[in-house]
Structure 1
Amino acid sequence: MKTEGNAKTSAIISYITIVGTIIAYFMNMEEKNEFASFHIRQAFGINITFYLLGALMGLFDQVFIIGAFYLFFIVLWGYGIITAIQGQTKEVPILGALFQKFLSTVK
C-alpha cells in the first residue's frame, strides 16, 4: 500500500478534528489512495462516535464517567494518528473494525 506524499498527509490531517477529516476526504478525491481512505474512515468513525456518545455524556454529572469517556477517545485518537504517522494501517482498538465495515463507502 502506497503511503508516500499526499496519501500520508491526508491520513494525518484526517485525525485533526472533524474539519481535518473533511479536508482529508476532499484531498483524497482525485487519487483515491487506499491508505488515506483507511485512515479517513477510522478518523471519521472516531469523530462521529465521539459526538454521538458525547451527547449522552451530557446527561451524566459524574467526573469519573466523563473523564473515562474523554480518556477513551484520546487513546483512540492517539493510536490512530500514530499509526498514520508510521505509515501503518492498524485499526483503532475496539471500534476500528466496525468503522471499516460501516463506513466502507467512504473512499
Structure 2
Amino acid sequence: MDNLSAKTKAIIAYITFVGTLIAFFINKDNKHEFTTWHIKNMFGLLLLLLIAQVTQAYVDLFFGEILWFIAFFLWAFSLVMAILDKKQAIPYFSEKFQEWFTFLD
C-alpha cells in the first residue's frame, strides 16, 4: 500500500474510527505531513463525537445533540478539505489537535 497518495490516506482517515486507524498504520512507514495532519484532526473530531455521545446519555440530551451536530459538520467540512487536497483548519480546534496529539506523528 505504499503507492497510496497522501490525499488518499487523508480521505481514508475520515472514514470512521477504523479508517483513522487504517490511515495511521498505512502512513506509519511512509509518512506524509498532509496525511498526519488530517489523522490528528480526525482523532480530535472522534473525541468530540465521544464527548457528544456521553453528554447525550448522561448530562443533557439537547446539549449532546448540539455537540453531535457540531462534530458532524466539522467532520464533513474536514472530509471535503481532504478531498480538495487542502489543510484548511477548523478554527481553534485544528491547531489544538495538532498540538495535543503529537503521539500520532
- TM-score higher than 0.5: yes
- Decide whether the 8 Å contact of 2:52 with 2:65 is kept in 1: no
For residue 63 of structure 2, what is the amino acid of its counterpart? Answer: I
Q: Deviations over 1:5-29 (max 9, x none)?
A: 4211110010111111000001101
Per the TM alignment, residue 99 of structure 1 is displaced from its structure 2 partner at its CA by: 0.3
Matched, 1:8 2:29: no
Stretches of structure 1 that go unaligned for 5 or more consecutive residues are none
Residue from 74, 77, 91 that aligns with 2:75: 77
- Which contiguous aligned blocks of 4+ residues in structure 1 show a shift greater than 4 angstroms? none
- Structure number with the higher helix fraction is 2
The match for 2:96 is: 98
Count of residue correspondences = 103
- Aligned equivalents of 1:56, 1:65: Cα separation in 2: 7
Q: Distance in 2 between matches of 1:22 and 1:66?
A: 25
C-alpha displacement of 1:66: 3.0
- Normalised to the residue count of structure 2, the TM-score between the two structures is 0.86
User: What RMSD over aligned residues (CA atoms) do the two structures have, in Å?
Assistant: 1.8
- Please give the alpha-carbon distance, in whole angstroms, between the structure 2 residues aligned to 1:65 and 1:13: 30
| Residue 61 of structure 1, CA deviation | 4.8
- Deviations 1:17-70, CA, capped at 9 Å, x for gaps: 1111000001101110000000000001111222134213312454x3233122
- Ranges in structure 2 where 5+ consecutive residues have no aligned partner: none
1:16 counterpart letter in structure 2? I
Superposed, which structure 2 residues align to 1:1-107 within 5 Å? 5-62=4-61, 64-107=62-105
1:92 counterpart SS class? coil
Q: Percent identity?
A: 31
